[in-house]
Structure 1
């Protein structure tokens, strides 16, 4: 009887693994790709080294304005005006309060992603905005009251974006379900609201919230300017969220609707337990895209007298002692927006992986 012996596997050819293989497959697979790769390297060579020199190697990081001798970025302007960029006109001795809110927000997002119990999640969602408002605004528990006119900078940007996202989400769900409803009056009202809001720019909504909305109240009622802006932004965003969720609802197979009806579930039970979880999972990428757009659109609050982080660049550079530092300010704000939007994008990817059921 023949005896068979196992031989060791031969190593893979050098041309089918490693760095050279990756370069050949991805950057130099053919003549056109090779030319584009070389062109890309040349553009990087022309732009990145000078940019790094300006931002880092030739930059001025400390000292006074009179001591600037380098030709690079003058980051001492950012360090000098840092509190205004972050908190606007918030009292310096109370800055610990928005800082504590920032820590609570990070912990809230982490716990929301980790905790499985739905009741605990809903409790956290109810307590989170109340806690944040008490800490920032004050007026109770011995905290000094800080009027919204003093809010500004990145803190105001995050407040407007967070309230707009959180408040518009449930309204958008209701509008999406209403647009899909079989009841003519409900459907007409939802369609009319959505199409009207989507037909006008956000700047118009903000003007209406700032100028027109107070006309509906009695004389003597002081309606907070920030609250007016939050109402306008929430209603504006809710219309877009409704269309995104409606797209997710249309992607659900008809058999899912028939399934929950065959189980004897009511309309709301079927929607909450069967349909909406699937529709929201499908809609995550588009929802995050809408949230990122809203975050960037918060810069429009400047037109009604609120100073967000971008408006602070103009305000701080109007100081006669710091004229000519606009470039550093805009670069700093650009990096802030990129970090925030990139973080939102990465977090959405984590949520997508968590709720992925396509095993």
Structure 2
């Protein structure tokens, strides 16, 4: 009697099958993210009710009843639907933003020379975008062009007084131009200087450590307004007779030093999180102090504190509005200054102007935040999920 051979050897791969209908599509996403548990369902429903209550009035104010153009504040005293209402009950007065947009961007920068600001902005974007894209080659040359060449070219373009360019004093600068210059200089200087201060604070040399600790704790112990006030008002009193610095330059130095002190503590936290074995491994390879820091320790430390670094950058970008206290007008300052214009003195213009400024600040801060999350995920190679 013969036994039937039931063995089976597959010689072809089983064709891929689509996921079950209940495990894909928008239904799966809703169940996973919004209705996974009864508590999630209740919170989702409450959130939708709040949005349904708040969103329609905002849309009506910002779009339906908004006034988009006009010669003065009189156009903002009416609404497109519902007839004439008292001043302050109308929609957004985007006509005010439209009329003052040039000032919001350039301040009082000479009108005929504003092409220089536009050219600087184009260069900034053209160099920054490839620097932020990991797959674009020649990162070293790109970084040198962005952090070394670009600031020099931008200085001569914006200030002028050389190469046939008319001189534009910094007291005419304002708006988004001042915000971007302060942020760029503060961010570019605070990170390398903060790294040096963090390394100095952890140094075994008593004098170096004492100086770094004194600087960091002194700067962190006072508000930025005090630093700006000292740089703008008090510093000239200690300068030799006949010697003075541009007020905008003093503000740049104050902002950069203030941000560096906070950046130093963020970087120091990353250095302390590195296991001692990494330092010992670098020493066993015969690397010098700077080689071990630059090749082994700092890359790991900076990767760990990316959220803190970007958080400092975001805070610095928003803190540029404090230069208003020393008579300089960044984006928020120039918006507030235009509230005093008699042609646009209306209850709707302040709200519209502040919303516009807030939207610009939010766009930049949100962009930095999302890029930070992207870099965290890209560099998270130490943990596999």
Corresponding residue for 2:373?
349
Matched-pair contact (CA < 8 Å) for 2:67–2:75: no
Say yes or no: does 1:233 pair with 2:267: no
TM-score, structure 2 as length reference: 0.87
**Aligned partner of residue 95 in structure 1, secondary structure:** helix
From 81, 94, 97, the counterpart of 1:78 = 97
Deviations 1:299-337 (A, max 9, x none): 110111101111112211101100021111001001000
Judging changes above 3 Å, is the alpha-carbon distance between structure 1 residues 26 and 169 closer, same or farther for their aligned structure 2 residues?
closer
What is the match of residue 128 of structure 2?
Answer: 109
- 3-state SS of 1:81 partner: helix
CA shift, 1:76, in A, is: 1.1
Going from structure 1 to structure 2, the CA distance change for 1:42 and 1:267 (only over 3 Å counts) comes to same
Distance 2:227 2:16 in 1: 69
What does 1:1-359 correspond to in 2, within 5 Å? 1-2=5-6, 13-65=20-72, 66-68=74-76, 69-70=78-79, 71-113=90-132, 114-118=136-140, 121-324=143-346, 325-358=349-382
- Shift of residue 354, structure 1, vs aligned partner: 4.8
CA–CA separation in structure 2 for the residues paired with 1:354 and 1:24? 28
Deviates more, 1:280-289 or 1:334-343: 280-289
Q: Which is worse superposed, 23-32 or 42-51?
A: 23-32
Conservation of the 8 A alpha-carbon contact between 1:85 and 1:312: yes
Unaligned ranges ≥5, structure 2: 80-89
Q: Describe the shift of the 1:355–1:30 C-alpha distance in structure 2 as closer, same or farther (beyond 3 A).
A: closer
Question: Where do 5+ consecutive residues of structure 1 fail to align?
Answer: none
Q: Please tell me whether the aligned partners of residues 270 and 305 of structure 2 are also in contact (alpha carbons under 8 angstroms).
A: yes
Q: Secondary structure of the equivalent of 1:159?
A: helix
Q: 2: CA distance between counterparts of 1:150 and 1:354? A: 42
Structure number with larger C-alpha Rg: 2
Aligned-residue Cα RMSD (Å) equals 2.2
How many residues align? The count is 359
Cα distance in 2, alignment partners of residues 30 and 234 from structure 1:
48
- Residue 261 (structure 1) shift: 1.4
1:124 CA displacement? 4.1
CA distance in 1: counterparts of 2:357 and 2:371, whole angstroms = 21
Does structure 2 retain, via aligned residues, the 8 Å contact 1:115–1:121?
no
Query: Is contact 1:90–1:150 with CA below 8 Å preserved after alignment?
Result: yes
- Cα drift, residue 351 of structure 1: 3.6
